[in-house]
Amino acid sequence: MSAPGMKTVTAKVLVVGGGPGGYVAAIRAGQLGLDTVLVEADRLGGTCLIRGCIPSKALIHVAARFEAMAQSVGDGRFGIALDTPPHLDLAAAMRWKDGIVDRLSGGVAALLRKAKVRLLRGWAVFSDAKTCTVQGSDGPLTVKAEHVILATGSEPVPLPALPFGGPVLSSTEALSLERLPRRLAVVGGGYIGLELGSAFARMGSAVTVVEAQPRLLPLYDAALTAPVRRWFERSGVAVHLGARALGLETDGEKHLMVVRAADGGTVRVPADAVLSTTGRRPRLDGWGFETMGVDRQGAFVAVDDQCRTSMRNVWAIGDLVGEPMLAHKASAQGEMVAEIIAGHRRRFAPAAIPAVCFTEPEIVSVGLSPDEAAAQGIDAIVDQFPFAANGRALTLDGGRMDVGESGFVRLVARRDDRRLLGIQAVGAHVSELSGEFALALEMGAELEDVAGTIHAHPTLGESFHETALRLLGRPLHI
Ligand SMILES: Cc1cc2nc3c(=O)[nH]c(=O)nc-3n(C[C@H](O)[C@H](O)[C@H](O)COP(=O)(O)OP(=O)(O)OC[C@H]3O[C@@H](n4cnc5c(N)ncnc54)[C@H](O)[C@@H]3O)c2cc1C
């Protein structure tokens, strides 16, 4: 209910949240001629653009450049030698990263304008399923809409023993540090912790990783994560597996993170900063979600395969509706919901959603792993091709071949009709193969389709081609 005299805005579609889910939903709705309002309390772009995907990859790039230069000091590498070690100005690196974020966030605003989406800046609070109040800089506004798309995203969850604040950072604070922590403890060996942990290690921090599970990146299978584990070992990153962070002991400026190790003993890890990345939860508090009559499923908003919630014409997308919490999933759902509202027949049933981990080396996984295929009772054939036998990987200096960091491409296919079920890769720069892998699964490719596609030489993609040839019993380069 709006207060008397409060200005009311009406729309066909109201989108709450301007992250990759919400802004894509709004652009598509606008393109389809739907009268659309987008409400965003912060800067446009959401977690992904402002404090997630983009800033983390910018930092990873800086770290890789710095490490390469540091390794060129003295005798040098590839014939390039530096007389003095490089100097890292983290504040300047952050300004470069902020410039990219500003440019992309401004680009989102321009795209929304082009699609004739009305943007309201402010925090939305719902009083019923189709009405909210937005606290903008010009005072409160009431917004009423026929359709509501919820895209409020997710937020980091602190460990009770390590509340955020002071030396305990979430990924958000870690992505705006102006000074390099000399010693960084990372709690959580998932992709966010390891991407940032490896970036700080490459920039010169002494990094320790604490993970409760028996291995790093527990969502990927052991063969894929082994090269990453070897990189951590070789880079001097201490890794405690099956271990739990119990809290922080502080004496003045000195901090010791107390860890219960796998053997039951207690370890004290000296740290100038602790990066806690143990999980994220959907953002459901503080905006009247409970007034909307929308059901949950566990911590998330319950939706069907069209992203409809239990309340008519209320839709939910992105991190709010569950795993995988990835930007490209959020965007795909946002695009679909806008099209359904415009009358198109759509369902969210992708053949696969690619997952990429931007560690050193990178990991890509699309579709079923060998273990997942077996667990589903599928009679599958599996093989892989090593990047150590790929010319492009060698010219890119793709990891140390002697310690097996060069990685591989792996294919999982159905034995009877040779249809691809899953494609994985680990190696330098493999993130760029994720599109080809996802396309192959989405098109229902068989091994012969991959084998019959000419791949440019020299590229990493030739390893995909070779893996298919190998599974067909006619490899050429191995
Ligand atoms: C460090 C880090 C690295 C990541 N790297 C990757 C990666 O490489 N690849 C990848 O795919 N994913 C990555 N992610 C995950 C990705 O950021 C999320 O999956 C994605 O941002 C989810 O999009 P969303 O639209 O659902 O929500 P969000 O991006 O979280 O956007 C939600 C928006 O809603 C706004 N909002 C919330 N409530 C209200 C309200 N009541 N009123 C007004 N506005 C509101 C918020 O301000 C926010 O801008 C990363 C995440 C982190 C933290």
Q: Give the separation between CA 178 and CA 252, rounded to whole angstroms.
A: 21
pLDDT of 4 above 80: no
What value does the mean pLDDT take over residues 263-282?
96
Q: Calculate how far, in angstroms, residue 46's C-alpha sits from the geometric centre of ligand 1.
A: 5
Joined together, the tokens standing for residue 277 give 């990345």
Identify whether residues 249 and 329 lie together within a single domain.
no
**Residue identifier of the C-alpha nearest atom 8 of ligand 1:** 53
Beta carbons of 450 and 472 less than 8 angstroms apart = no
What value does the mean pLDDT take over residues 234-249?
96
Say what percent of the chain tops pLDDT 70. 97
Report the catalytic residues.
Answer: 457
Q: Calculate how far, in angstroms, residue 51's C-alpha sits from the geometric centre of ligand 1.
A: 8
What value does the mean pLDDT take over residues 304-330?
98
Q: Calculate how far, in angstroms, residue 271's C-alpha sits from the geometric centre of ligand 1.
A: 28
The pLDDT, as a whole number, for residue 402 is 56
Beta carbons of 66 and 60 less than 8 angstroms apart = no
Residue 348 lies in a domain: no
Identify whether residues 133 and 256 lie together within a single domain.
no
Identify whether residues 239 and 325 lie together within a single domain.
no
Residue 200 lies in a domain: yes
359-376 pLDDT, tens digit per residue, is: 999 999 999 999 999 999
What value does the mean pLDDT take over residues 89-107?
98
| Least reliable range by pLDDT among 3-7, 70-74, 218-222, 256-260 | 3-7
Q: Calculate how far, in angstroms, residue 240's C-alpha sits from the geometric centre of ligand 1.
A: 29
Q: Give the separation between CA 155 and CA 325, rounded to whole angstroms.
A: 11
Joined together, the tokens standing for residue 302 give 């319950």
Q: CB 299: neighbour CB atoms within 10 A?
A: 14
**What is the domain-level CATH number for residue 39?**
3.50.50.60
Joined together, the tokens standing for residue 42 give 């912060």
- Termini Cα distance of the chain: 70
H helices of 152-221, in order, are 171-174, 191-203
121 SS3 class: strand
Residue 45 lies in a domain: yes
Beta carbons of 357 and 195 less than 8 angstroms apart = yes
Question: What band does 2 get if pLDDT is binned at 50, 70 and 90?
Answer: low
Joined together, the tokens standing for residue 359 give 């560690």
Residue 33 lies in a domain: yes
The pLDDT, as a whole number, for residue 398 is 75
State the pTM of this model.
0.97
User: Does residue 192 have its Cβ closer than 6 Å to ligand 1?
Assistant: yes
Question: What band does 401 get if pLDDT is binned at 50, 70 and 90?
Answer: low
Identify whether residues 47 and 143 lie together within a single domain.
yes
Torsion of CA 275, 279, 284, 286, to 10 degrees: -20
The pLDDT, as a whole number, for residue 77 is 86
Identify whether residues 191 and 300 lie together within a single domain.
no
Identify whether residues 142 and 18 lie together within a single domain.
yes
Nearest residue to 149 via CA among 51, 36, 52: 36
User: Does residue 283 have its Cβ closer than 6 Å to ligand 1?
Assistant: yes
Q: Give the separation between CA 346 and CA 393, rounded to whole angstroms.
A: 40
What value does the mean pLDDT take over residues 49-64?
98
What value does the mean pLDDT take over residues 38-59?
98
**Residue identifier of the C-alpha nearest atom 2 of ligand 1:** 52
User: Does residue 40 have its Cβ closer than 6 Å to ligand 1?
Assistant: yes
Q: What are phi and psi of 280, to 5 degrees?
A: -130, 150
Residue with tokens 């009559």: 293
pLDDT of 322 above 80: yes
pLDDT of 323 above 90: yes
Q: Give the separation between CA 345 and CA 67, rounded to whole angstroms.
A: 50
Of 234, 257, 277, at which residue does a domain stop?
277
Q: Which amino acid is at 242?
A: G
Nearest residue to 205 via CA among 227, 186, 188: 186
Residue 71 lies in a domain: no
Question: What band does 399 get if pLDDT is binned at 50, 70 and 90?
Answer: low
Q: Calculate how far, in angstroms, residue 306's C-alpha sits from the geometric centre of ligand 1.
A: 20
> Which of 152, 195, 294, 356 to mutate for ligand 1's pocket (most ligand atoms within 8 Å of CB)?
152
Identify whether residues 202 and 290 lie together within a single domain.
no
Residue 77 lies in a domain: no
What value does the mean pLDDT take over residues 266-288?
97
Q: How many domains does the chain have?
A: 3
Torsion of CA 441, 447, 451, 452, to 10 degrees: -80
User: Does residue 434 have its Cβ closer than 6 Å to ligand 1?
Assistant: no
Q: Give the separation between CA 54 and CA 46, rounded to whole angstroms.
A: 11
Of 226, 249, 277, at which residue does a domain stop?
277
pLDDT of 185 above 80: yes
Residue 477 lies in a domain: no
The pLDDT, as a whole number, for residue 400 is 65
Q: Which atom of ligand 1 is nearest to the CA of 20?
A: 25
Domain of residue 383: give its range. 355-471
Identify whether residues 292 and 309 lie together within a single domain.
yes
Q: Give the separation between CA 205 and CA 129, rounded to whole angstroms.
A: 48
Identify whether residues 286 and 257 lie together within a single domain.
no
Identify whether residues 190 and 241 lie together within a single domain.
yes
Identify whether residues 432 and 286 lie together within a single domain.
no
Residue 346 lies in a domain: no
- Mean pLDDT (the chain) is 96
User: Does residue 335 have its Cβ closer than 6 Å to ligand 1?
Assistant: no
